């Protein structure tokens, strides 16, 4: 999986080789390799200030770890879970972390103390994806039970259950500066009004990863082959993007200006697109 790509041109990826690697996105040089997990690294995420990394691991490890990105040192290991950590996400202010696990629960953590604040229970299948709303007031979780659940981040209470998928929801992503949320199964990508729980748009085609561009006008998605699709969300149209992968793309992330895309694939490579022609500043 490939993390958010920061302005100072570093990116991270977690691997089945139990390591996390930090790369220089311009030169392609390896900056650090982080060792410590004893099983697959299933999820990685930068803190909002770019100083720290959170990671979640697989069946033989089941821990969340917090790292200092500059010194490549382990700062903290959160309490061992009962199942693999499929997804981790920082709150917008960087003070909290949410994790999604195979036991069907999402958990909210205080990063500084390592204290478990809330356990979000309600899914009846693995939680594959978690995401904070842009203002940090709500959380979303996507699950094997074919639903998206919206939670109050302060109290941990369930606000909304969004149904309407025909397969597991692998990815959820809030639209920047919006109350809309996108969710994707292996069969369909849909955009919802998170407050009302109503369907806004059905883009078709499923995806493992669906990041919004920074301005919220475009979305990237994966497919069952090495092709990446760039969606004009307003028009509901997609164009293919080929970066030379030879196997399925599993993770995507936009550059901060929205002109480039970084992708991670089963072919064991991470690739960066050339400068794309769409205008990320379009109003």
Give the span between the Cα atoms of 210 and 219, in whole angstroms. 6
Q: Is 38 helix (H, G, I), strand (E, B) or coil?
A: coil
Q: Is 248 helix (H, G, I), strand (E, B) or coil?
A: coil
Give the span between the Cα atoms of 194 and 261, in whole angstroms. 26
Please tell me which of 90-94, 225-229, 263-267, 278-282 the model is most confident about, judged by mean pLDDT. 90-94
- Find the mean pLDDT for residues 144-159: 98
- Find the mean pLDDT for residues 134-145: 98
pLDDT in tens, 241-251: 888 889 888 88
Structural contact between residues 139 and 106, judged by C-beta atoms closer than 8 angstroms: yes
Tell me: pLDDT of 163 over 50: yes
pLDDT band at 23 (very low <50, low <70, confident <90, very high): confident
pLDDT in tens, 88-106: 999 999 999 999 999 999 9
pLDDT band at 281 (very low <50, low <70, confident <90, very high): very low
For every residue of 95-125, DSSP letters joined together read SEEEEEETTSEEEEEETTT--EEEEEE--SS
pLDDT in tens, 106-119: 999 999 999 999 99
């Amino acid at each position: 999986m490939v993390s958010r790509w920061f302005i100072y041109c570093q990116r991270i990826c977690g691997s089945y080789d139990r390591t996390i690697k930090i790369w220089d996105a311009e030169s392609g040089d390896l900056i650090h390799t982080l060792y410590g997990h004893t099983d697959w690294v299933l999820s990685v995420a930068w803190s909002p200030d770019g100083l720290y990394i959170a990671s979640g691991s697989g069946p033989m490890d089941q821990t969340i770890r917090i790292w200092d990105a500059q010194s490549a040192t382990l700062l903290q290991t959160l309490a061992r879970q009962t199942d693999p950590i499929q997804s981790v996400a920082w709150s917008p202010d960087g003070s909290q972390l949410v994790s999604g696990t195979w036991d069907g629960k999402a958990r909210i953590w205080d990063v500084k103390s390592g204290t478990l604040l809330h356990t979000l229970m309600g899914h009846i299948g693995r939680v594959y994806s978690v995401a904070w709303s842009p203002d940090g007031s709500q959380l979303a979780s996507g699950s094997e039970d074919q639903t998206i659940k919206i939670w109050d981040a302060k109290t941990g209470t369930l606000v909304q259950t969004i149904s309407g998928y025909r397969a597991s929801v692998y990815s959820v992503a809030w639209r920047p500066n919006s109350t809309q949320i996108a969710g994707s199964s292996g069969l369909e990508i849909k955009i919802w009004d998170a407050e009302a729980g109503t369907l806004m748009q059905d883009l078709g085609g499923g995806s493992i990863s669906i990041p919004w561009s920074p301005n919220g006008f475009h979305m990237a998605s994966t497919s069952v082959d090495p092709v990446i699709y760039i969606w004009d969300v307003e028009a509901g149209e997609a164009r293919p993007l080929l970066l030379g992968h030879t196997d399925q793309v599993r993770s995507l992330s936009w550059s901060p200006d929205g002109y480039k895309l970084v992708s991670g694939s089963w072919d064991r490579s991470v690739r960066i697109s050339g400068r794309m022609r769409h205008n990320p500043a379009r109003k």
